[in-house]
Structures are given as structure tokens and as C-alpha cells.
Amino acid sequence: MTKRIGVLLLAGAAVMAAKEHEAVLRVNEASRAFTEIMGAKDKGIPQNILEKAKCVVIVPGVKRAGFIIGGEYGKGEMSCRTSTAGFTGPSTIRVEGGSIGAQIGGGETDLILVVMNDEGARKLMKSEFKIGGDAAVMAGPVGRAAEADTDAFMRAEMLAYSRARGAFAGITLKGTTLRSDDDDNAKIYGSKVSHEDILMGKVPAPANTRSFVSTLNRYFRANPATNKPMSK
């Protein structure tokens, strides 16, 4: 009997370790997907957009189905700028429902949301929010030298992008819900932490997420004259 209990405890520990490993792997996958997108010649997000960004959401491999209007499900990572030189550790979020642009057929899409102002950041810090209802989102401009200083882009709370079948472009989002995944965050950080505390920089980024944070700091280079930490 004691031996059987020991086996069950070991099996349970192995399952928990596997889930923790999966949560951390997703952080690394988000970093990899963003690096690949920005590495495509003249096809990345404009640098002046990145310089002004307050937060970013990266959801690698959103699963989709349907024709034009379909259902989506995926998990990804969100991080916010807390100084002109640094981003917070990641907070895991779920993407559910709605539609992502004019994606046709089944498959997977990498999704990126660039949050452009404090109001958009505050909305995304809620445990649950609906894109297109709670927040104003526009399809973002593409290309390193793309004109991204128009009033429309600067007024947008968030700019949305997707990569599907190798193509990267600004996209529209309708009815998509994003919610924090507190269970995965607990696996990544080693204890229960709140979505908002992570994004406000109150929780240090653990060692297993430093590559993700480093990637954001490398590409979202801040211009001190145009970007400041989010006001509390």
C-alpha cells in the first residue's frame, strides 16, 4: 500500500513538472515567434511603433477554424514597459472566440497586439477583456520604414498583427476575449501571482523567462524623448 502511494505521488509530481515545463516552453515559443517576425527583411513592425509601445501581447500558434468568421483558441504572453529600458516578466493569457481578420480554413496564426497608450494597457491588465468591445484596436502598419505617425495610429489603443502561412500583416480583431491564465503564471513564477502585479513590475521576472524579456528589450528600444513608463 505504501509503495502504491509512493508511485502515485511520483506520478503526480511528474504531471505537475510537465505542466510547468509546458508553461515555460510557451514563453520561449513567444520569444522565438517574435524574433522570427522581426527578422524578416522589411516586414517587421515599424520601429517608431515599438518605441512608443506600452505593452505587447504575443500569442504563438493561435488555433483557428472556419471560413472568414471562425473560432480561435490559444495561449500567449503579455509584458509591459516599466521603464524606458525594461519590460516586465511575462503574464500568460488565453485567447478565446471571435475572429482574426480574413483567415481562411483551419490552421494556426501567430498573433501580436502592440499596446500604444496607458488606457489600453490598463484595460489589458484586467483579468478579462474583450477586444473590439472594451478596447479600440486597429490593423497595424507593416515595414521598418512604414509611415506610422498618423493621427489614427497614434490614437489607437492597440495595433494588431498576425503571421499565417509565412505572411505577416496588420489584421482586424472582432469579439476576441483575452483572459489571464493564473494557473500557468503560478507554474512559471513558482507561486500564485496576480496578472496586474506582474505587468506593473511588482513581481521579478524568474530566470526561466529572461530570454523572453531580453528579446522585448532588444526590439522595443525606447526613445526617452517619446516614451515613458506607464503612469500608475
Report the chain's terminal Cα–Cα distance, integer Å. Answer: 56
pLDDT digits (tens, 9 = 90+) for 221-232: 754 444 555 555
Dihedral (Cα; 104, 141, 178, 117), 10-degree rounding: -170
Return the percentage of the chain with pLDDT > 90, whole number: 37
**Which portions of the chain are predicted below pLDDT 70?**
1-20, 63-72, 84-85, 98-107, 132-135, 144-154, 222-232
Reported pTM = 0.81
Geometric angle at alpha carbon 128, from 90 and 132, rounded to 5°: 105
Sorted by where each begins, the domain ranges of the chain are 3-219
